[in-house]
Structures are given as structure tokens and as C-alpha cells.
Amino acid sequence: MTGTTSSVRWAGAPADWPADVVKHLLSHPENGPFGTPQWYQLMAREVDFGAAARKDALVLERGGAVQMVMPMVMQGSTWRPLANYYCPLAVPAGASAAGAADWGAVFSGIAAQRPRPATLQLGPWPAELAHRPEVLQEAKRAGFWVDSHFRFGNWYWAVDSSWPTYWQSRPSALRNTVQRKGRQLARAGGRIEIFTAGADIERGLAAFQAVYADSWKSAEPHPGFIPGLIRLAAQQGWLRLGVAWLADEAVAAQLWLVHGGQAHIYKLAYRERHADLGAGSLLTAALMQHVLEVDSVREVDYGMGDEPYKQAWTPQRRARWALACQNYSTLTGAARAARTLVLRNLATIRAEQEKQ
């Protein structure tokens, strides 16, 4: 907007955000459910970032209107998004429309804080945002040394067919396994149940927790987060919680979230002693059919990581990147930047030596 100046203000913790910040977040679904006010409130309430951590949100304004919201957590000299391994994306709301002046105001506003942040971590972001020249240039202009680095692969499917067509296009080994295991589960008295909302959610939550506790996975470091998420997702209409039962025992469970036309495959577990039932594959097939035929989603997202099994279900891949911005005006930031450069040079030298 010509003739306007970008400026920043701070909105406080998620529970204190004013109406214009909440409205902006709800109208910018870049992060899916992981960028809603309710998600950030859950993170702030259930994730222990440390007693001294400050939760706040940088708000970029132009012409009196909110243009970008960047929820953050400040832990000592390190600042980063109000996010962690529970968040497959942490994109500032409105970042895609921000220009150089906007990013200049954002980075200058952060650098001007006292005490000065030594490190600003950003991401996970789509590769195209992490590589935008104006983002990198304005960070450097504000006094940050910027390291743009790959975080993880993200497998997904931009839906372009119906469930029957999609299923017939899956690898024959997968289809045969699902059909065979489905008959086996049915003969054993098993069934698949999908929880979405209503009074029965607590039964689904209890089943999920029982499976997870008896699976190969480590205990959740923040025990209130997943129960809180399942209840929140049920309230908001995001929840697709699949449970495979063998008689009255839950043997596998999958938590999916549907928001804004996207289905996010979020958390999976099964009891190892029942691994031969193939209940995980049966659940994925049942939930995939549900989100295609009932929810009519336009994309299915398999979250973080390049595990080979994801490729059988979601045929496309994209990269998620992050930025580590070190503040040269602080001793800690300068030391961290130097250390990164040294390690990178050593890695380059080793790679060249291995070629010889």
C-alpha cells in the first residue's frame, strides 16, 4: 500500500491476544490447525518451555491494519516460534504477502528488543519462503547472519481423483495387504471405528492413550498436550481419530486432523504384540477413504519425515526449511555464527577428501 509505513507491536501471550490478532490468525490458514489461536493457546498451556520463557506475538502493521502475526517464545537469548516437534509448520500468518519493507520492520523490531536476542530461529517453512531474497536481505540488514538449512521432507498428496481411483493406483502389495489383513481382522472379531465429535470422544481418547502406552513409542514429554489436542480438535471439528479394535481391546490408533480442506496425518501407534494384524495399514486406508469421501479434502499431508512407508500413501514430496539468524552485535550470536561456519567448512573438506 503506497504511502504507508510498516511497524511492529507486541501482543503478549496467546490468552491476551486482542481481537485483531485473533481475526488475522483465523483468516490466514498457512499452517492449517497449527496456526490457529486455539492451537497456540494449547501450546502455551500444555508445553513446558521453561519457567523463564516469555510467550509473545510480534504483530506487523501497515496503514493501521494487521499484516503479519508471528507468535514466539523467548528463552534467554534464543527466540523462536511458539512451536516445537508438535508443529509441522510454523509460518508467520500473512508472511506470503509481506514485502521487503515488512520484513525489514520485523527483523529490526526483533533486533531492537532489550535484552538483545542472540539467536532468532525461524521455521519450519516452505522452501520458497525460506529462500525469498527479501527475507534473507532484510535479516542481514538488521544485523543477523543467516543460515538457511533443510529441516525435513514432507510427503503429501494433492488430491486429484476419487477414492476408488486413488486406491487402484496404490502399489499392489499395499492393496493386497490391506485386503488380506482386513479379512483377518474381521474373522477375529475386530472392527474399525472413527471418532469425530460428540460425547464418545473420551472413549476414543482412552483407546488412543492405551495403544500409545503399549507401543514402541516413548512417553509424551508433555502429557497434557495430546489429550488437550484431541478434545480441542473434537470441539473445532478437526478430529478424525481412528481406532482398530480386537474384541474390546484397542490394538492401533491414528490421530488425523482435518482443517481448511487439508487432512493432516498427525500421530500413529499400534500394540507391537498385535503387529501381525496390520491394523495400522487398515486404519490408514479407512481414514483416507473417510477424508476423501466424507470430508472432500483437497490435500493429504503426512507430516514430518521421509519414512519410506509414507510414499505408498502420498506420492508427492516437498522440503521444509528453517532459518537460524545469529545477531552479530552480541557475543553469543557472533560465536554461534562462527561455529556454524567452521563446522560447515570442515564438512566441505571431509566431503572433498572422500571424493579423492
Can you give the pLDDT at residue 4? 78
Do 10 and 53 fall within a single domain? yes
Do 164 and 146 fall within a single domain? no
Grid coordinates in use for 300? 493429504
Domain carrying residue 113: 6-151+320-355
Can you give the pLDDT at residue 1? 41
Can you give the pLDDT at residue 320? 98
Tell me whether residue 235 is in a domain.
yes
Do 105 and 200 fall within a single domain? no
Do 56 and 86 fall within a single domain? yes
Q: How far apart are CA 46 and CA 55, in angstroms?
A: 13
Q: List per-residue pLDDT tens for the chain, 356 residues long.
A: 445 799 999 999 999 999 999 999 999 999 999 999 999 999 999 999 998 999 999 999 999 999 999 999 999 999 999 999 999 999 999 999 999 999 999 999 999 998 899 999 999 999 999 999 999 999 999 999 999 999 999 999 999 999 999 999 999 999 999 999 999 999 999 999 999 998 899 999 999 999 999 999 999 999 999 999 999 999 999 999 999 999 999 999 999 999 999 999 999 999 999 999 999 999 999 999 999 999 999 999 999 999 999 999 999 999 999 999 999 999 999 999 998 888 877 777 777 767 76
Do 193 and 257 fall within a single domain? yes
Do 227 and 124 fall within a single domain? no
Can you give the pLDDT at residue 3? 53
Do 193 and 263 fall within a single domain? yes
Give the torsion sign (CA, 278, 281, 285, 290).
positive
**Number of other CB atoms surrounding residue 149 within 10 Å:** 12
Q: Which of 258, 252, 308, 256 is nearest to 281 (CA)?
A: 252
Tell me whether residue 61 is in a domain.
yes
Tell me whether residue 87 is in a domain.
yes
Grid coordinates in use for 38? 486455539
Tell me whether residue 315 is in a domain.
no
Tell me whether residue 141 is in a domain.
yes
| 268 beta partners | 254
Can you give the pLDDT at residue 343? 82
Distances (CA, A) of 129 to 90, 118, 141, 321, 326: 12, 22, 18, 9, 19
How many domains does one find in the chain?
2
Tell me whether residue 310 is in a domain.
no
CATH number of the domain residue 340 falls in: 3.40.630.30
